[in-house]
Amino acid sequence: MIGTVRALGVRVPQPSFDVASLTDKGLMRSDNQDSLAVVQNALTFCVADGVGGGDGGALASAMLCEEMSSAAKASQGFMTRLRACDDAARVAHEKIADYAMRAGFKRAMGTTMALFLIDPDHVEPGGWRSAAVAHIGDSRVYRWRDGVLELLTQDHTLGEEMLNGTLPTDGADGRRSALAHMLTRAIGPGDWVGPDWRKVDARPGDAFLLCSDGVHDMMSDLRILSAFEAGGSARVILARLESAILAAGAADNYTMIVVRVI
């Protein structure tokens, strides 16, 4: 049931949220290094894609999601939660780096992050809510609104930096180069570089997708758009996206969270 709240003497619809999530090793990998966190009562969602191979990547992504879940559950108020999640990313970075050093990992152990938070308390007229996106690496957040799919994050990869002019390409297409998927920022390895934050809003009718690169590498933005355009519940949309991933070969682990604002 959709309730109401009173703001400035006007009765405003209280949005509700339809959420579905999944993570899978895919068809080509023997293990799953992705993790996810869904803290629905705090409207906090996180996707993490571990790097470093085997147990190292899987553990790094799980450590990040555990820190995010704890931060979201312990924080009261939207701004406090934002700061707590930002701190949680740094804490995860330090814990992963410490673990990798003590365990003697020869390869860099780390994880990407895609984070989405909605203010669960304050509703603007029209049912709008404040929201925020943060990311590190090449896990992404998309928003579908009024028939338009918008990418809310920008990959931290050498390929993306070549494409946007931060690095020279020598005439090559950065997305197609051998370095296209090499991360320039991750949680765990190297010096700490915090997430990129972006203030957004969430309106009734919107739908959001958080995903690892095992999703967006397997389908075009147009294919993702069509999955949302066909309508249905978050679970139906998720199943539609998974079918497309499997049809494309599911060459990597894939992890998704779909959040619909009703």
Higher pLDDT pick, 210 / 163? 210
- The average pLDDT across 127-155 equals 97
**Could you tell me the pLDDT band of residue 166, with boundaries at 50, 70 and 90?**
low
pLDDT for residue 178 is more than 90? no
pLDDT greater than 60 at residue 7: no
229 or 167, which is more confident = 229
Looking at the chain, the whole-number percentage of residues with pLDDT higher than 70 is 87
Alpha-carbon torsion 50, 56, 58, 59, what sign? negative
Please state the length of the chain: 262
Distance spanning both ends of the chain, measured CA to CA: 10
3-state DSSP assignment of residue 130: strand
Instruction: Give the torsion sign (CA, 159, 163, 167, 173).
Output: positive
**pLDDT score at 6:** 32
**Other Cβ atoms within 10 Å of 230 Cβ, number:** 10
Question: How many CB atoms sit inside 10 A of residue 134's CB?
Answer: 21
Q: What is the per-residue pLDDT for 165? A: 55
At which residue do the structure tokens 């990998």 appear? 29
Place of tokens 């700490």: 192
pLDDT in tens, 72-93: 999 999 999 999 999 999 999 9
Residue that the structure tokens 């959040």 belong to: 259
pTM for the structure as a whole: 0.90
Q: How many CA atoms are closer than 13 Å to the CA of 109, on its beta-carbon side?
A: 26
Q: Tell me which of 24-33, 84-93, 106-115 is least confident.
A: 106-115
Element (H, E) at 151: strand 148-151
- Cα–Cα distance, 105 to 97 (Å, whole number): 10
Flag whether pLDDT at 11 surpasses 80: no
pLDDT 10s digits, 39-64: 999 999 999 999 987 789 999 999 99
The confidence score (pLDDT) of residue 259 equals: 98
Distance CA 219, CA 157 (A): 18
pLDDT (mean) for 83-108: 93
Residues 197-213 have pLDDT tens digits of 999 999 999 999 999 99
Residue 193 has pLDDT above 50, yes or no: yes
Higher pLDDT, 207 or 158: 207
Domains in the chain (CATH in brackets) are 15-261 (3.60.40.10)
Residue 146 CB coordination number (10 Å): 7
> Which residue is it, tokens 């690095």?
167
Distance CA 241, CA 228 (A): 9
Put residue 174 in one of left, alpha, beta given phi > 0 → left and psi -120 to 50 → alpha. Answer: alpha
pLDDT score of 132: 98
In percent, the amount of the chain with pLDDT more than 90 equals 78
Whether 247 shows a pLDDT value over 70: the answer reads yes
pLDDT exceeds cutoff 70 at 172:
no
Give me 259's structure tokens: 């959040």
172: Cβ–Cβ under 8 A, 6 or more apart, which residues? Answer: 162
Mean pLDDT of the chain: 90
